[in-house]
């Protein structure tokens, strides 16, 4: 990845495209932790790609690419969220879409839905993007201790939800 | 649920929805297009490449590849001509070696005929040209297929790039004209206006493919489906015609590859290059370079020191040196770099190049020791910034 970043910094659009395509899974999951419909996520991802291309020359070290890109993506997601809230705040917006087709995505979205909103992004940044608590703290402008607390609580929440789920499945399995 | 199970659940691969992937593809295609226009506006290397070819053409003749005259018998598409900026000698070489062949498969739907008209294929990359008749857009309006799917034996093939040809030509001095020789028009903000409809009323769609695992597509059954046609503006698609144009063909081509087994260190990088394959349109290299985790230290935006890890990579492949001493850098196009599957010892680089070279004339690969400081340096990298691996 480091070489792709170097090529991209030198204006190689093919390398940039390859680099960003390799980040699509992570970008989607991060954006889905903040935004709640795929159209908005598509806008945020599109805006992020343009911003990254415009600014990648300013990225001093290739090693920082992931955190730098994720920070831009989060800002773009927050911009969209802010605009939407200004236009029409609606509790319904907080629900994930019902029209998702792919099973893997439904399961993943359901899992996100079970997590309290304030834990979602921190959990995705830590477990999906592989960022450390310190990096997340810098990215979200919150103390590292808060990040660690949210991670711990997010883990507890997921664990309890899935324990309940597993127990339910076991009971249902017994009946059949 | 245990901690590792939580990580596993969150890291599960999910399908990125079409609407998101499609928007990303459109934005990246737009970036590529603008980058090519910008780069070629002030670029000198393509023309250095042209001079290089004139020198090596004689060698091709002496080698007796069946070339006795410059009689080009294949009608090259406008887009392919512009893409490779090929001289008559280069065109003839690709035709003689059957790296490029004409095609003539047409599908008509809703009054729009899409014709597969030319392909340029080597072991790792495929460039395709499709002609579109029966659909027109105004100058400056960019046409776009809503979906393009490509598979081989049902497995998806990476589309590295796909766009409608804008009929723009950049000359050696960086002047931009339309391919018919007329001056390119500009918008009020200075952007060049693409002309997607040619003199004969047709349009052209160009695409580049490679397999995800880098294996050859030669002899493989390729399935391509274009769905829906409309226009794109500011990376947003506006639908017009709902239809599907489907093509199935086998990619036949001769493998004109110069393959070299060697064991040469890439400077002091720790990587040893063990295999090189050079085709007229791409470069492939394998390295003995066991995967290494590298700790890195950085500073976050609050000024705190942070620790992280990354993986070491081999120095970036930036071009080739020819037997006459000409160094061609900044020629690399898209492809793949990294480890193949579970083999964490062999690092592989597979890249297309933006011109046609004679594999027999290459005597070294060039790797980036230090990054280029300027755009000009990128295309003419000084020797002290390069690792030069000869063979």
For residue range A21-63, what is the model confidence (pLDDT) as tens digits?
Answer: 888 988 999 998 888 788 889 989 998 998 898 888 777 777 7
Of A38, A104, A128, the CB nearest to B10: A128
Question: Where a domain ends, among A98, A128, A148?
Answer: A98
Closest-CA distance, B262 to chain A, in angstroms, reads 23
Residue B204 CA: distances (Å) to CA of A84, A171, B79, B166, B186: 39, 61, 7, 8, 21
**CA end-to-end span of chain A:** 50
Q: What count of other Cβ atoms lies within 10 Å of the Cβ of residue B262?
A: 13
Cβ B328 vs Cβ B45: under 8 Å: yes
Contacts of A110 (CB under 8 A, 6+ apart): A96
Task: Identify whether residues A120 and A80 lie together within a single domain.
Answer: no
Tell me the HSE value of A64 on the side-chain side, using a 13 A CA sphere.
Answer: 22
For residue range A56-104, what is the model confidence (pLDDT) as tens digits?
Answer: 877 777 777 888 888 889 888 888 877 765 444 333 334 444 444 455 6
Beta bridge partners of B163: B206
Q: Mark out the alpha helices in chain A (DSSP H runs).
A: 2-9, 13-21, 24-32, 38-55, 65-87, 103-114, 117-127, 133-140, 144-175
Q: Considering the domain boundaries, does residue A105 fall inside one?
A: no
Q: Considering the domain boundaries, does residue A74 fall inside one?
A: yes
Task: Identify whether residues A8 and A84 lie together within a single domain.
Answer: yes
B residues 235-274 lying closer than 8 A (beta carbon) to A? 235
Q: Considering the domain boundaries, does residue A110 fall inside one?
A: no
CA distance B72 to A111: 61
Q: Considering the domain boundaries, does residue A35 fall inside one?
A: yes
Closest-CA distance, A64 to chain B, in angstroms, reads 8
Task: Identify whether residues A41 and A122 lie together within a single domain.
Answer: no
B305 to chain A: closest CA residue: A134
Structural domain count of chain A: 2
Task: Identify whether residues A54 and A4 lie together within a single domain.
Answer: yes
Of A43, A50, A134, the CB nearest to B304: A134
Contacts of A116 (CB under 8 A, 6+ apart): A153, A154, A157
Q: Which two tokens stand for residue A67?
A: 């955190």
Q: Which residue range is the domain that position A131 belongs to?
A: 115-176
CA distance A69 to A65: 6
Q: Considering the domain boundaries, does residue A103 fall inside one?
A: no
Question: Comparing B244 with B172, which gets the higher pLDDT?
Answer: B244
CA distance B372 to A10: 7
Q: Best interface-test mutation with A: which of B5, B21, B23, B26 has the largest number of A CBs within 10 A?
A: B23
CA distance B311 to B295: 9
Cβ B302 vs Cβ B282: under 8 Å: no
pLDDT band at B275 (very low <50, low <70, confident <90, very high): very high
Closest-CA distance, A175 to chain B, in angstroms, reads 24
Q: Considering the domain boundaries, does residue A109 fall inside one?
A: no
Q: For chain B, which domains are there?
A: 14-43+74-250 (2.60.40.1630), 258-390 (no CATH)
Question: Where a domain ends, among A72, A98, A124?
Answer: A98
Task: Identify whether residues A79 and A13 lie together within a single domain.
Answer: yes
Task: Identify whether residues A41 and A90 lie together within a single domain.
Answer: yes
Q: B316 — contact with chain A (CB < 8 Å)?
A: yes
Closest CA to A48 of A62, A26, A27, A65: A27
User: Left, alpha or beta for A11 (phi > 0: left; psi -120 to 50: alpha)?
Assistant: left
Of B5, B7, B313, the CB nearest to A3: B313
Residue tagged 């009929």 (tokens): B167
Q: B329 — contact with chain A (CB < 8 Å)?
A: no
- Is A4's CB within 8 Å of B334's CB? no
Q: Provide the pLDDT for residue B37.
A: 62
CATH code of the domain in which A14 resides: 1.10.1740.10
Q: B16 — contact with chain A (CB < 8 Å)?
A: yes
CA distance A135 to B307: 9
With pLDDT > 90 as the criterion, what percentage of chain A qualifies? 6
Question: Where a domain ends, among A98, A129, A156?
Answer: A98
Task: Identify whether residues A4 and A81 lie together within a single domain.
Answer: yes
Helix (H, G, I), strand (E, B) or coil at B229: strand
- Is B14's CB within 8 Å of A104's CB? yes
For residue range B46-90, what is the model confidence (pLDDT) as tens digits?
Answer: 222 222 333 333 233 222 233 333 344 578 898 988 888 788 888
pLDDT at B45 over 50: no
Contacts of B39 (CB under 8 A, 6+ apart): A11, B375
DSSP of B27-68: HHHHHHHHHHHHHHHT--HHHHHHHHHHHHHHHHHHTTSS--
Task: Identify whether residues A76 and A142 lie together within a single domain.
Answer: no
Task: Identify whether residues A68 and A127 lie together within a single domain.
Answer: no
pTM: 0.58
B34 to chain A: closest CA residue: A13
Q: Provide the pLDDT for residue A56.
A: 83
Summarize chain B as % helix, strand, coil (round to 5): 20, 45, 35
Q: Considering the domain boundaries, does residue A91 fall inside one?
A: yes
Cβ B99 vs Cβ B253: under 8 Å: yes
B27 interaction partners in chain A (CB closer than 8 Å)? 46, 49-50
Task: Identify whether residues A39 and A11 lie together within a single domain.
Answer: yes
Cβ B276 vs Cβ B260: under 8 Å: yes
- Is A158's CB within 8 Å of B1's CB? yes
**ipTM, 2 decimals?**
0.76
Q: Considering the domain boundaries, does residue A106 fall inside one?
A: no
Q: Which two tokens stand for residue A172?
A: 């249902």
Task: Identify whether residues A38 and A78 lie together within a single domain.
Answer: yes
Task: Identify whether residues A89 and A128 lie together within a single domain.
Answer: no
């Amino acid at each position: 990845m480091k070489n792709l970043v170097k090529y991209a910094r030198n204006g190689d659009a093919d390398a940039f495209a390859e680099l960003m395509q390799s980040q699509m899974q992570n970008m989607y999951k991060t954006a889905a932790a903040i935004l709640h419909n795929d159209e908005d996520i598509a806008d945020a991802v599109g805006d992020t790609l343009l911003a990254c291309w415009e600014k990648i020359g300013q990225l001093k070290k290739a090693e920082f690419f992931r955190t730098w890109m994720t920070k831009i993506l989060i800002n773009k997601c927050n911009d969209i969220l802010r605009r939407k809230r200004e236009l029409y705040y609606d509790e319904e917006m907080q629900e994930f879409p019902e029209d998702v087709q792919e099973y893997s995505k439904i399961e993943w979205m359901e899992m996100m839905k079970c997590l309290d909103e304030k834990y979602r992004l921190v959990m995705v940044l830590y477990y999906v993007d592989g960022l450390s608590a310190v990096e997340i703290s810098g990215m979200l402008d919150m103390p590292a201790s808060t990040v660690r607390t949210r991670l711990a609580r997010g883990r507890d929440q997921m664990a309890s939800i899935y324990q309940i789920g597993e127990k339910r499945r076991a009971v249902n399995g017994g009946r059949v | 649920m245990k901690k590792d199970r939580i990580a596993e659940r969150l890291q599960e691969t999910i399908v990125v929805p079409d609407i998101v992937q499609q928007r990303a593809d459109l934005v990246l295609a737009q970036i590529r297009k603008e980058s090519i226009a910008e780069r070629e506006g002030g670029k000198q290397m393509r023309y250095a490449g042209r001079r290089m070819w004139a020198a090596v053409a004689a060698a091709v003749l002496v080698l007796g590849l069946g070339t006795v005259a410059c009689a080009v018998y294949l009608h090259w598409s406008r887009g392919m001509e512009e893409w490779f900026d090929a001289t008559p000698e280069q065109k003839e070489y690709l035709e003689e070696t059957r790296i490029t062949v004409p095609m003539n498969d047409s599908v008509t739907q809703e009054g729009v005929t899409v014709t597969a008209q030319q392909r340029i294929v080597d072991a790792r990359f495929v460039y395709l040209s499709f002609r579109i008749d029966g659909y027109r857009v105004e100058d400056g309006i960019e046409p776009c297929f809503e979906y393009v799917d490509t598979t081989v034996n049902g497995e998806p093939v990476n589309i590295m790039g796909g766009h409608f040809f804008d009929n723009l030509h950049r000359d050696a001095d960086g002047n931009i004209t339309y391919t018919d020789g007329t001056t390119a028009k500009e918008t009020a903000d200075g952007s060049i206006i693409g002309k997607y409809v040619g003199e004969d009323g047709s349009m052209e769609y160009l695409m580049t493919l490679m397999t995800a695992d880098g294996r050859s597509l030669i002899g493989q059954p390729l399935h391509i489906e274009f769905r829906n046609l409309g226009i794109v503006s500011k990376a947003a698609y506006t639908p017009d015609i709902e239809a599907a144009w489907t093509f199935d063909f086998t990619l036949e081509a001769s493998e004109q590859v110069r393959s070299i087994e060697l064991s040469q260190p890439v400077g002091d990088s720790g990587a040893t290059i063990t295999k090189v394959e050079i085709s007229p349109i791409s470069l492939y290299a394998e390295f003995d370079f066991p995967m290494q985790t590298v700790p890195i230290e950085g500073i976050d935006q609050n000024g705190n020191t942070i620790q992280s890890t990354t993986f070491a990579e081999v120095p970036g492949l930036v071009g080739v040196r020819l037997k006459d001493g000409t160094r061609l850098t900044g020629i690399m196009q898209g492809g793949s770099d990294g480890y193949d599957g579970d083999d964490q010892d062999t690092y592989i680089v597979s890249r297309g190049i933006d011109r046609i070279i004679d594999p027999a004339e290459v005597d070294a690969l060039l790797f980036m020791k230090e990054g280029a400081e300027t755009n000009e340096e990128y295309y003419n990298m000084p020797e002290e910034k390069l690792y030069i691996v000869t063979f």
